[in-house]
Amino acid sequence: MAALPDATALDNAVIAYLQTDPILASLIPDGVFYMQAPPGASRFGLVWQSEHSDELVFGASDANARTVYGIKAVGRTTAGVPGGVIQDAAARMHDLLHLQPVPLGDLGYELMICKRVRRIRDTETDPANRAIEWQHVGGYYELQVCSGTVPAI
């Protein structure tokens, strides 16, 4: 029976990879989180799973997984915080992810590709204080991994 890649382990590997980059940490000092940042955070990254599919490959000993992650930098902008910092954080995320060898640790999976498939750019007004805006900049990144081996043809 073929083993399917553990999607939660992949989520955690992507987040851990982003959290360990010192340049990104300087731009979004509150950290990188899955789906939701803690209260009080003002500059942070968010990662969430948008799509996931497991594919059993004919003749393979295990399986492939395709996951599309939403990954964005989020920041509160006021007179004292320039919005360009969030754009810089999103650009750094892109540099770390798009067509790069994203490390997956010792999960037992090999990265086939990570690429951006769609862009994110949005601004929302804070419902509690209309003088504050939240910038959201990033993208949807498709991550394909394989486990096991595929026999030569």
Whole-Å CA distances, 56 to 43, 63, 68, 112: 39, 5, 18, 15
* Under-70 pLDDT residues of the chain: 1-5, 56-62, 78-83, 148-153
Amino acid in the structure at residue 31? G
What pLDDT was estimated at residue 61? 57
| Residues forming beta bridges with residue 15, ordered by sequence position | none
pLDDT tens readout for residues 41-51: 999 999 999 99
All structural domains of the chain, each given as residue ranges with its CATH number in brackets, are 7-147 (3.30.2000.30)
Query: Rounded to whole angstroms, how far apart are CA atoms 78 and 98?
Result: 30
Three-class SS state of 61: coil
Identify the pLDDT of residue 105: 81
Rounded CA separation 148/108 (Å): 8
The pLDDT assigned to 90 comes to 97
H or E segment and range at residue 85: helix 84-97
Question: What b/e sequence results for 35-56 when a residue is b if at least 16 CB atoms lie within 10 Å of its CB, and e otherwise?
Answer: eebeeebbbbbbbebeeeeeee
| CA-angle at 99, arms to 135 and 56, nearest 5° | 105
pLDDT in tens, 37-77: 999 999 999 999 999 888 766 555 567 888 999 999 999 98
Return the pLDDT at 1: 43
Helix (H, G, I), strand (E, B) or coil at 131: coil
Task: Write down the pLDDT at residue 39.
Answer: 94
